Amino acid sequence: MKIKALYFNPEKCTPPETILIDDDSCSEELHRLLNCTFLDFTFREFSNKSFYVIIDDCGRSKAGNYVSTFAINSNDSKIIHDIFGSIIIAGFPSDDGYITALSEDDVKLINRCLIKYQCANGIERFAFLLDR
């Protein structure tokens, strides 16, 4: 079975791409896609719906890693939460703890939360705005 997820590489500065991960080799594929040894699983809410965000647990310590940014509006102030390196967004885990596939509506919802902005140095970047 294939699991639909979104892969976001901040170095490319393009919107996330839809990927299909083979359920039988899920762990190996996640490690390969994120180019990492240790995975970290966290969650984020997009428009009050929770999703798994899978990251390189050692991403901060790797030289030259680009940043995936999550911005949260709270009482007119932005809270910025940076994650270093590429990320994979998948469905919230099932009862047995495994990631689940995104639906087409999930993909649309997450992409609606994506904004493009310009850094102080003039480089264009994407961020996920979590209160949309």
pLDDT tens, position by position, 24-54: 888 899 989 988 888 888 888 888 888 888 8
Position 132 scores a pLDDT of 42
- C-beta of residue 80 within 8 angstroms of C-beta of residue 131: no
Q: Is the predicted pLDDT of residue 4 greater than 70, yes or no?
A: yes
Assign residue 44 a region: left if phi > 0, alpha if psi is -120 to 50, beta otherwise? beta
The torsion angles phi and psi of 81, rounded to 5 degrees, stand at: -125, 110
Tens digit of pLDDT for each residue in 65-107?
566 666 655 555 565 667 767 889 999 887 887 889 999 999 9
Position 41 scores a pLDDT of 86
pTM for this entry: 0.82
Cβ within 8 Å of residue 116, ≥6 positions away = 124, 125, 126
